[in-house]
Amino acid sequence: MKVIGLNGSPRKNWNSAIMLENALKGASAAGAETELIHLIDLNFSGCRSCFACKRKGGKSFGRCAVQDDMKDILGRILEADAVIISAPVYFGDVPGMVRNLFERIWFPGLMYQKDGACAYTKKVKVGLIYTMNCPDEHFYDQLISSHKGTFERFLGETKVVCATETLQFDNYDLYVGDMFNVERRKEKREKEFPQDCERAFRMGKELAE
């Protein structure tokens, strides 16, 4: 059992990364081999609309043809048993590098056929972790539901864990941010964020089982 974790936050040791690490610990506890990749370390783009993945008889049929840092990782994702992607929500959506990743996974699997056929023949379980500044994840229900449905179409069973009203800084005195209830956020970080991490751990374990 191989589980790949992709951190879609530009920060390697904060909310999204911490929850992803807990999810990978859960997968490891179930006996899986795990790997952690930080997208910020990679040089890659989104889909370039070259359509090489759809060319009949082409050498890249059903696979992304773009030659960059994501090329090898895409192959490893499709060979894995599960992939877990963590991302913060910025301005109502995931960061650009995460959207680029999504496009590179989804588009090669899409075949323009009436029967909705997918180019991928192997199922890969998916875990999606979202961390966000807003106090209620239901604000992003449509976004998350769209991501979940698309991954289930192209890869396989998809589970979701969200953490809301996350702590943004260690010390709010150093930054402009008087719109936030800092004490509330600190309390939530202390009492609720560990529960979010536990939910991520359970998700990782379930995906590996």
Q: Let me know: does 179 contact 149? Beta carbons within 8 Å.
A: no
Alpha-carbon distance 206 to 209, whole Å? 5
Confirm if 97 and 43 have CB atoms less than 8 A apart: no
Maximum separation of any 2 CA atoms in the chain, in Å: 60
Who wins on pLDDT, 84 or 168? 84
Give the chain's length.
209
Find the mean pLDDT for residues 193-204.
Answer: 97
- 115 band by pLDDT with thresholds 50, 70 and 90: confident
Mean of the pLDDT values across residues 11-29?
97
Residues near 164 by Cβ (< 8 Å), separated by ≥ 6? 132, 134, 135, 136, 137
CA distance 97 to 44: 8
- Which CATH architecture is the domain 2-208 placed in? 3-Layer(aba) Sandwich (3.40)
Q: Tens of pLDDT along 36-58? A: 999 999 999 999 999 999 999 98
Q: Where are the domains of the chain?
A: 2-208
For residues 137-153, give the mean pLDDT: 90
